[in-house]
Structure 1
Amino acid sequence: MDVSIVETSGLGDRSYLISHHGIAVVVDPQRDIDRILALADENEVRITHVLETHLHNDYVTGGLELSRTVGADYAVPAGDDVDYSRRPVADGDVIDAGPIQLQVLHTPGHTHHHVSYVLRDDAGAIHGVFTGGSMLYGTTGRTDLIGPDDTEELSHAQYHSVHKLADLLPADTPIYPTHGFGSFCSATPASGDSSTIKEQFKTNPALTKDEQSFVDELLAGLSAYPAYYAHMGVINSAGPAPVDLTPPAPIDPIELRRRIDAGEWVVDLRTRTAFAAGHLPGTYGFELSGSFVSYFGWLYDWGAPITVIGDSPEQVAEAKRELVRIGVDRLTGAATDDIDTLTNGSQLGSYPVADFARLAEQLGTGSASILDVRQTHEYDKEHIPGATNIPLHELPDRLNDVPAGPVWVHCGSGYRASIATSLLDRAGFDVVLIDDNFAEAGKQRLTAR
């Protein structure tokens, strides 16, 4: 029995291909199904079943298209209301894929109808459990995505679901969650790349705390999540359109300038330092790395056409793949010429890049306006006294709260700050990007708790 992991690090998620004796089952596939198809070909297996643990809130599923492409059965939790034909599964059902057997367990919490799948071979031996957004590594899936009226009920349900898994399964059972690798679907940050039921008894708060303490702590720890989540459930319920990964049309400098002047979303994918050194005024800077797609989806005007500027066609293709995973399909053009060529004779914009040591020097000789774009709970834990805290996702609607410039902008690593500085630069602010790890601020004795 082989379990192959398909990592989607930009969203902090995992999909799985289970294979045995030439047969394969897929759990929670992302929308870009070519990765799964290539893996199945590599393993020389035939996909007979595609399973969803829940209707996803953080990405557009590839399950429907994959099942249609390979002619597989498509299993979705029975309580989820969808507009397409599927196999509804409920607690106690068994997915019979010949040498692969999967027992369905109802594990509500992340959603009302969430299920987990216990993996067995045809002799009945347990080889793992696919827990979706239920039991994660050292945490659980968040419980506030359905709505505020359901959150407390789902938090209690999450506690009981984790106990159900722990009570029913052997201690050495491997756990295969979908979320928890940087995903905003985690209630708190997950820990580790693998785990078992036994290990979760030591690290998972649902198993180390009493029910009310767990619920109280979970509710207190819930922080903001990306705005694009509001669209994912709708798309997944209706049935996503087939994915389109064809390259966007090339855009020349004149058309590029027209789109910028029209106020369209023109997004520069280059590194944050390259953008700071020279960019087309009026563009957005979203470095294509790390959490690009989560923060892009958080700030994006849903449905607006997008033009991208990249270093290469390969970078543009990577960006398109990231964007279609969250249903952003209106990538209407791309420019990959040298940035100086794209100016068409106009002047580039730029702003300084500094670190916390340089900020300490500035504060030592005078004062500085500091903007902290981390989330509120991060700021409350530790911050630079006198800094204004405006979380990145709130910044477009709170420009009037930004202090007078030059504004030194920081976050935890420099990534969110780089997006914020591009937004502020676009709005006409005088900015300095602090491209540094926040731990360095403590080393410079700039912070207070």
Structure 2
Amino acid sequence: MKVEQIYTGCLAQGAYYITSNGEAAIIDPLREVKPYLDRLAKDGVKLKYIFETHFHADFVSGHVDLGKETGAPIVYGPNAACEFDCISATDGQEFKVGNVSIQVLHTPGHTMESTTFLLKDENGKDHCIFSGDTLFLGDVGRPDLAQKAASMTQEQLAGLLYDSLMNKIMPLADDVIVYPAHGAGSACGKNMMTETVDTLGNQKRMNYALNQPNREAFIKAVTDGLTPPPAYFGLNVAMNKKGYDSFETVLNHGMKAFSPDEFELVAELTDALILDTRNNTIFYRGFIPQSVNIGLDGDFAPWVGALIVDVKQAILLVTDEGREEEAITRLSRVGFDNVLGHLQGGFEAWLKSGKEADIVDRITAEQFAKEVRIGQDLVIDLRRESEYAAEHVDEAFNRPLDYINDWIKDVNPKEHFFLHCAGGYRSMAAASILQARGYRNFTEIAGGFKAISETNVPKTDFVCQSKTMHA
């Protein structure tokens, strides 16, 4: 028996590959399935089952394509209403894979079909659990994503989650290994550890959710401080339930190369969003007007999902040469399949064609320290609330990038403001969105708060959000 975690850092997502005596199972696969097919061929094993812990909200799983390619059945837990062929297993049902077995532990709460899969070794001993979004390391799954579908409140779902954990997970032995679906950085929880594997015994000791004194305390603890989920979550759930176009179809479509003239024409005719995936340190010097910058060298897919509300939005790509396929692949993982094509030759080809370009007004942290007048100038800090609370520029306003589509209307376009994040990735995304919507009277700070912290700009950890950004 062999268990391998295949972790994708930019999504903070864990898929799992299990082999035993010539047979294999894959749990929660990513959208692109060729790496799995190659691995199965290399190992000379037959894929017997594809297990899904639940209908994922934060990414599009590869279960449908993988099932078509291999003929392996897709297995969900109870209550799974798929719009394709799948097995909706019963609680306690076991599936043999080689000399081992995988038992279904129905653990509703995160969603109604949420299931933990218990792997038993060749001797029938409990070896590990694939806990999906039921149990994370340091946290549990948020109970507010399935309210509408389940016709339940988040408190009712949290109560179900408590019952699932206490009745199905906590009785297992301390030496059982926990393999969760996500780690730190995922929007599916709020307090995850950076580690991606742990023992259940350690989680019993240190996981705050597993150490609440009673059901009521648990419900309060896990529902406290939940931020609104990204808009694309519901659309990803629908794709995972209903199926989707094959990844190869999406890739072939997106790999269509346009000359600068063709690119410009397609943009005008389709109202496509121009997504520039170059690094922020390059983007600000020159880009196609109205472009939105979300760099590939970062948490690209989650930020696309947070900032571009509609997964059906038509997209035209500008990338560094040779990175087109990577961008299309990572977009498809969160359901953004409508990539019309990309700019052949990248932004350099656009410049050489003599077409118009735009820039962002970016200054160094040292320049910012010389120019800013604390208490007079408006400074917008795009970091998350926890980052801001730890330390921030005196009198700065905290407006997390995640919610720019909500707070942008509160920005007075006639009042100059400074803009920064932690290191420059998020502030350049915000700058590109602001300029695409007609805001020009701002200055973005290179290196973000990390660079600012090394200057003499006054800083504080006192949180005050009472002021308004209106002039």
- Mapped to 1, the partners of 2:126 and 2:110 lie a distance apart of 24
Match of 2:404 among 395, 401, 409: 395
Instruction: Describe the shift of the 1:269–1:134 C-alpha distance in structure 2 as closer, same or farther (beyond 3 A).
Output: same
Q: Please give the residue correspondences for 1:20-419 in structure 2 after superposition, counting only pairs within 5 Å.
A: 20-147=20-147, 149-211=152-214, 212-244=216-248, 245-246=251-252, 248-261=255-268, 263-300=271-308, 301-313=310-322, 315-343=323-351, 344-363=353-372, 367-376=376-385, 378-379=387-388, 382-403=391-412, 404-419=414-429
1:395 Cα deviation from its structure 2 partner: 2.2
Deviates more, 1:211-220 or 1:231-240: 211-220
Confirm whether residue 3 of structure 1 aligns to residue 3 of structure 2. yes
Residues 255-292 of structure 1, C-alpha deviation per residue, up to 9 Å, x if partnerless?
Answer: 22334556520111110111111111111111112211
For residue 460 of structure 2, give the secondary structure of its aligned residue in structure 1: coil
Query: Percent identical across equivalent pairs?
Result: 28
Q: Which amino acid aligns with 1:326?
A: V
1:358 to 1:193, Cα distance in 2 relative to 1, 3 A:
farther
**Shift of residue 152, structure 1, vs aligned partner:** 0.7
The superposition leaves residues 213-269 of structure 1 with CA deviations (integer Å, 9 ceiling, x where unpaired) of: 332222122113211112012111112332223252111111223345565201111
Determine if contact 1:84/1:238 at 8 Å carries over to the other structure: yes
User: 2:459 aligns to what?
Assistant: 446
Distance 1:366 1:174, change over 3 A: closer
Distance 1:355 1:235, change over 3 A: same
More moved, 415-424 vs 211-220: 211-220
C-alpha distance 435-5 of structure 1, shift in aligned 2 (>3 A) = farther
Q: State the superposition RMSD in angstroms.
A: 2.3
Are residues 48 and 304 of structure 1, via their aligned partners in 2, closer, same or farther at CA, if it must alter by over 3 Å? same
CA distance in 1, matches of 2:346, 2:313: 25
- Does the CA contact (< 8 Å) of 1:163 and 1:206 recur in 2? no
TM-score (norm 2): 0.88
Q: How big is the shift at 1:131?
A: 0.2
1:339: Cα distance to partner? Answer: 2.4
Asked whether the 8 Å contact 2:391–2:459 carries over to 1, the reply is no
Q: Aligned to 2:170, what secondary structure does the other structure show?
A: helix
Task: From 421, 434, 437, give the equivalent of 2:445.
Answer: 434
8 Å Cα contact 2:24-2:98 kept in structure 1: no
TM superposition shift of 1:373: 2.5
2:178 and 2:375 map into 1 onto residues whose CA distance is 54
Whichever residue aligns with residue 39 of structure 1, its letter is: R
Residues 359-404 of structure 1, C-alpha deviation per residue, up to 9 Å, x if partnerless?
3332358943212223456545654343333332432354331244
For the structure 1 residues 151 and 95, does the alpha-carbon distance in structure 2 shift closer, same or farther, using more than 3 Å as the test? same
Q: Which moved more, 1:234-243 or 1:17-26?
A: 234-243
Moved more, 1-10 or 108-117: 1-10
Q: In the aligned structure 1, how far is the partner of 2:107 from the partner of 2:374?
A: 58
Taking a change above 3 Å as real, the CA distance of residues 439 and 184 of structure 1, as seen in their structure-2 partners, is same
Provide the secondary structure at the position in 1 that maps to 2:147. Answer: coil
- Are the aligned partners of 1:362 and 1:368 in contact in 2 as well (CA < 8 Å)? no
Unaligned 5+ residue runs, structure 1?
none
**1:184, CA displacement in angstroms?**
0.8
Query: 1:185, 1:326 → 2: CA distance?
Result: 14
Gaps (5+ residues) in structure 2? Answer: 463-471
Higher alpha-carbon deviation: 363-372 or 248-257 = 363-372
Q: Distance in 1 between matches of 2:69 and 2:257?
A: 30
Paired letter, 1:411: C
Taking the aligned partners of 1:52 and 1:391, their CA distance within structure 2 comes to 33
Contact 2:53 2:76 in 1 (8 A): yes
Q: Is the 8 A contact 2:209 2:222 kept in 1?
A: no
SS state at 2:112 partner? coil
- TM-score of the aligned structures, taking structure 1 as reference length: 0.92
Distance in 2 separating the partners of 1:12 and 1:431: 33
**Would you say the 8 A contact 2:267–2:316 is kept in 1?**
no
Q: State the 1:409 CA deviation.
A: 1.4
For the Cα contact (< 8 Å) 1:370–1:387, is it kept in 2?
yes
Q: Choose 218-227 or 405-414, whichever is displaced more.
A: 405-414
SS at match of 1:221: coil
Match of 2:325, as an amino acid?
A: A
Equivalenced residue count is: 448
In structure 2, distance between residues paired with 1:271 and 1:240: 30
Contact 2:394 2:458 in 1 (8 A): no
Mapped partners of 1:359, 1:258: distance in 2: 39
The letter of the residue matching 2:50 is V
